[in-house]
Every structure is written in structure tokens, then in C-alpha cells.
Amino acid sequence: MNKKIKKILKKKNKTKIICLTAYSKNIASILDKHCDLILVGDSLGSVLYNYKSTKEVNLSTMINHSKSVRLGVNKSLMVVDMPYNTYRNPREALKNAKLLMKNSRCDAVKLEGGKKIIPSIKNLVKNNIPVMGHIGILPQTDKKFTFKGKEISERNRIINDAKLLEQAGIFSIVLECIEVKLSREVTKQLEIPTIGIGSSVNCDGQVLVIDDLIGLSQSKFKFVKKYIDVRKNIEKAVKRYKSDVIKKLFPGTKHSFRN
Ligand code: KIV
């Protein structure tokens, strides 16, 4: 088993697993020192491309961003999302996961869904491709983005899906917007670590979209905490640059070439 995956598994019930998304080299290289896992999420569809949904993200976009992220990741486990309609059956899943792994040199792939995608997951695991699961809100297929676990039937389905995915061989699972007590229950029932986003402190680890955390995006999700307002700082720098250029303060002699 991949050493980085082993390290993550050992953290269950001990220390929190730190995860963030990255879509390019520069950001990834900052996160790498501090994260256990870096996810090239298909959230890049909305964050970078203004797509209405992640359905529009394709494999080559994921490969290109992953190649860039790979340049910045050394220490962390690098996981890449398989985009919508790339794992509808075991053969398709294997063909596309191999393409992603080969081109991006990522460590693992992430697939969204429960019972329905078990055959695809089993085929990847059988072929030594490490897989991360993702249940709760499923941005690739859900129509409504409301938190999961209101109804008892939904709670049972989520617990059942989580167990089936674990049995299929995933090494970890993202719980997206799952009700507080339900995320505690899923985390308790699984031996593999759960990684929450909008799923309370009850998960083994936490993931956020980096652009949301640093205030580069303008999202206003309830589950996001903005730790810094990077937009404001970029704006300040650009204003100073503009003023310097207008006043002929930049470029100065130290930025110029003279014989
Ligand atoms: O696409 C993504 O960024 C994700 C995380 C939010 C878990 O799946």
C-alpha cells in the first residue's frame, strides 16, 4: 500500500486529517507542507470556469490541472476527482482512471456515489488504483444542494452506502454536507477515515476549497470559513502598481537594464 495512504489511515481516532483542494502548482506548493491530502477537485468547474455544475468538467481539464498541481506536491497524498460520466461502468472507470493516473501521476482517484458505483470501484481497487469515496451531497448528480440526513430513510441509505463503499475497498471517504449526528455515526461505523466538508467536527478529517478559505472566490456557503481576504490584498497591490506606473515610480533603475 502507498506509504502516504498508510499514514492517513493511521490517523483515524488519533489526529485530524488535513485536506484542501488545489488546482495549480503555486497554491499546491504552499499547501503541501501543511496538508495530509491535496485534492484536485472537479469543483474547479465552478471555481475557475464558472460552469453551472461539475457535470461540464471533462477528463482533459482534470488532467491538465493535475499535471500543474503535481509540480507543487511532494509530501501530501494527491487525489484527483474523476469527472462526471467517466465511471459509468467498470470498464469505463478503469480506462479513465488509468489515463488520469498515468498523465497526472496522482496517488489516488475520487468517485462520487454509493451502491450504484460499487462495481466500478471494485474494478479500480482490483487493478491497484487507490480510491476515495464521496457521499452526502453529490455535486455531479444532485439537483438540490441541501444537507443530507433529514429523513430516516436517507440516513439509513447513507450508512449503508458508506459500509458498501468500505467493503469495496476505498481507503477514505468524503462526507459532504451530512447532518452532525449522522456524520458521527458514519465515522464510528467505518474503519477508514471520513473527511468532512459541511459535515461537522465529527469526521476524522476536514477538506475545504482553497479559494473559499483564502477569500479568492466569492462563495458564501454556510460551511466555509474565510481565513484571509486575499481578494482585498490583491486589489491593494494592483492599485499600488497602477499608481506607481502612472507616476513613473515603477519600473525604477533597479528594475531596468543599462549598459
Ligand atoms: O470537487 C471538490 O472540490 C470536492 C471537495 C469539495 C470535497 O469534491
* pLDDT tens-digit readout, 157-189: 999 999 999 999 999 999 999 999 999 999 999
Single out the residue of 6, 3, 33 nearest to residue 18, CA to CA. 33
Q: 128: left (phi > 0), else alpha (psi -120 to 50), else beta?
A: left
Question: Is the pLDDT assigned to residue 1 strictly greater than 90?
Answer: no
Q: At what angle do helices 118-126 and 90-104 cross, to 10 degrees?
A: 50
Per-residue confidence (pLDDT) for residue 77, from 0 to 100: 98
Name the residue of 46, 141, 207 whose CB sits within 8 Å of the most ligand 1 atoms, as the mutation to test its pocket: 207
Residue 148 to residue 137: CA distance in whole angstroms: 7
State the DSSP H helix or E strand holding residue 37, giving kind and residue range, or none if neither: strand 37-40
Mean pLDDT of 250-258: 96
Name the residue of 53, 81, 131, 224 whose CB sits within 8 Å of the most ligand 1 atoms, as the mutation to test its pocket: 81
Per-residue confidence (pLDDT) for residue 144, from 0 to 100: 87
| Catalytic residue selected from 112, 176, 179, 185 | 176
Per-residue confidence (pLDDT) for residue 98, from 0 to 100: 98
* pLDDT tens-digit readout, 36-51: 999 999 999 999 999 9
Question: Is the pLDDT assigned to residue 241 strictly greater than 90?
Answer: yes
pTM > 0.75: yes or no? yes
* pLDDT tens-digit readout, 106-146: 999 999 999 999 999 999 999 999 999 999 999 999 988 99
CATH superfamily of 3-228: Phosphoenolpyruvate-binding domains (3.20.20.60)
Mean pLDDT of 55-81: 98
Task: For residue 166, indicate whether it is catalytic.
Answer: no
- Residue 109 CB neighbours (<10 A): 26
Type of residue numbered 96 = N
CA angle at residue 174 from 173 to 176, to 5 degrees? 145
Q: For ligand 1, say whether the CB of 43 is within 6 Å of any of its atoms.
A: yes
Closest atom of ligand 1 to CA, residue 39: 3
Question: Is the pLDDT assigned to residue 198 strictly greater than 90?
Answer: yes
Per-residue confidence (pLDDT) for residue 222, from 0 to 100: 94
Domain boundaries along the sequence of the chain:
3-228, 229-259
Q: For ligand 1, say whether the CB of 79 is within 6 Å of any of its atoms.
A: no
